[in-house]
Structure 1
């Protein structure tokens, strides 16, 4: 008995398949975000420099673009807080330990946004740098706090991470609780030095409050009061009540409302033009990470997404912020810097919502609970300056080893 030869159509012929690449990586939580961390020298040679190859690699690692919005075939978690990548290297800057580059990966588009920092993941950079051997051993105590000097390459700023060390190793467990994170961990204090974003003025329009002109089908009257600030990350603050909100909304109240999301995106795009970040609103789609949009309101009682009761007497104001087109489940670290900075400057919408009094720290409510951030502002030659903003976060390694991607991605 002879076997019959099977002839496959040309488009069904067996294909030669390339093996997957193995790239050393660490999966980390920092604050209320998590992302995939890389040592620059561990990346494939083509991806060690900025450009198409690097973006293609990171998109495939995270699982984007995904028309299903789930990132099932990658490391992303299908939210702006979990679709993130970090590249760390020995610093090229004097008096710094490491360089930190952040890439916000779009979920449903083939796009990596390098326009800003991630404040939450900043808390994990110091730990990653120590674990990866990128910090000189002489700077790490056997027991105590290691001060890691980080150069944030996206915005050209210094971040100082105070990383707890026990018996010569990074301490990750502890009793510090952070609203928006389920389990307690070790506290990491993070200082954002000279947090005005980039080289421009903290208030790019020169005003503490502007009239932001918008289409009348976006907001009634076509004008919205807005504080636009470059601190931590470019942010557009508006009053919650001007948009019909209380400032105590949870995610489902906004993220399930397509009309509301379109309104916030229009505010973001017009704000970006007003701040000089883009020249035309059509360019906003290519700059999804910045600016952020946040609504502010006087304190009100509410129940957080975890079921925790937040008493208005315990907070100075309520803030809700959007990231990558959706209301954030807690608060972005960089947006918290913007909140703390704006709160320290009398006359901003943030300060007005908090009572418009001089302060060096602000305690605000967000969807997952509350957060305190400190900032000291001063008026120098007619311009507001903030030396640093400080907050406490936590960080933890979730997994380490290799991430695999199909070789044809490069």
Structure 2
């Protein structure tokens, strides 16, 4: 019997923010996978270990959660005034597809460090000591991200004292600037508020008519008030993820919100679009005990936010959703802004299941329409393993 040999592909396993994924240089991928298409998708699914009917991704690099079923492809940029092109693939766990519809804000923190280490940045732009500025073209959504990467003795500094709730150990701080973060989504016309309103009445069969802020910033996100759907905003993962009826309710909200935002044309399209849009529920500040056992007091946050990712409540907060939160908080009248106390604000600290996070945004009103020039937040990143990932040669 003939056996198909495994092939090995240079790869780096990295944590970025509260996510981790497998990073590739575009030039290192097998030739058939260097272009978008079935071969690329099949390769990445095999690397991660999907589709897995057991939902564990035992035979791959994935960690069986939305935060750990991720792939990244980085190449030298084809865009003027950018260093690298960054493409993110969210790999479904139990289904056979890769969702390319949005960015991963957490893994964005690892792109600059990876690019420097992989030799993709002009050495003249990387100081031996100080901060390297890496200009990233986010190819999924056509946006610019500026990463500020600390350097020590010619190497990316990965260790340090920066603490990020949702990540066990401290590390070096990487500041990210998301420029013009309003997401240009097909069907949404590039509008920050695709419905033209900062708050809408969203009719959701079986749930009711909900007040909703639907925004394209960082990633398309649907915000609803926690109390309107029977929650307090202090919930941890088990309260939602162990409740099939709750998961179904959130998916129904997501489908009808996506339709209202123009992201899909028919409700059944939502099944092949798991990564976007996100659904988040918000509440005014209240005390709770985070998943780590840490106490979050009422005064520690401006508001509470819980967000769904790939059909489950996220253990902390997606970076792109944090951009959406910061953007919406900066615009008077949105549900996020009102939960945080209303008025104009340039930064917000929100409570999530693992603790708190601060995100800033610069918003201004021009001719009656709100625009956000940038959103800013800090994350951290670290190489976990580097070398080669192996897959059977007939995987793609």
2:152 to 161, 166, 169: 166
Q: 1:257 and 2:243 equivalent?
A: yes
Structure 2 residue corresponding to 1:210, chosen from 189, 200, 206: 200
**Residue in 2 aligned with 1:153?**
139
1:127 aligned onto 2:127: no
Output one character per residue of 1:140-199: Cα deviation in whole Å (capped at 9) or x when no partner.
Answer: 001000000000000000000000000011000000000000000000000000000016
Task: Tell me the CA shift for residue 137 of structure 1.
Answer: 0.2
* Structure 2 gaps, min length 5: none
Matches within 5 A, 1:183-194: 183-194=169-180
Pairing of 1:35-74 with structure 2 (within 5 A): 35-74=21-60
Alpha-carbon separation, structure 1, partners of 2:269 and 2:95: 15
Q: Which residue of 2 aligns with 1:301?
A: 287
The match for 2:9 is 23
- 2:332 corresponds to which residue? 346
Q: Which residue of 2 aligns with 1:200?
A: 190
SS at 1:77's partner residue? coil
Corresponding residue of 2:346: 360
| 2:382 pairs with 1:396 | yes
Distance 1:372 1:362 in 2: 6
Question: How large is the RMSD of aligned CA atoms in angstroms?
Answer: 0.5
Cα deviation for residue 357 of structure 1 reads: 1.9
The answer to whether the aligner puts 1:177 opposite 2:163 as a matched pair is: yes
Cα shift at 1:24: 0.4
Per-residue CA shift, 1:55-103, capped at 9, x if unaligned? 0000000000000000000000000000000000000000000000000
Equivalenced residues, count = 392
Write the distance in 2 (CA, Å) between the matches of 1:254 and 1:86: 29
Q: 1:77 — aligned with what?
A: 63
| CA deviation map 1:233-286 (0-9, x unaligned) | 000000000011000000000000000000000000000000000001110001
1:7 maps to what in 2? Answer: none
CA deviations on 1:316-361 (whole Å, 9 max, x unpaired) are: 0000000000000000000000000000001000001111121100
Larger radius of gyration: 1
Q: Does 1:270 align with 2:260?
A: no
1:241 corresponds in structure 2 to 227
**After TM superposition, which residue ranges in structure 1, 4 or more long, deviate above 6 angstroms?**
none
* CA distance in 2 between partners of 1:171 and 1:116 (Å): 28
Moved more, 49-58 or 354-363: 354-363
Q: How big is the shift at 1:313? A: 0.9
Among 294, 318, 324, the alignment partner of 2:310 is 324
Task: Write out per-residue CA displacement over residues 346-404 of structure 1, whole angstroms, 9 at most, x where no aligned residue.
Answer: 10000011111211000000000000000011111221100000000000000000000
Which is worse superposed, 224-233 or 197-206?
Answer: 197-206
- Which of residues 101, 109, 130 in structure 2 aligns to 1:115? 101
CA-to-aligned-CA distance 1:289-328 (integer Å, 9 cap, x gap): 0000000000000000000000111210000000000000
**Aligned residue in 2 for 1:4:** none
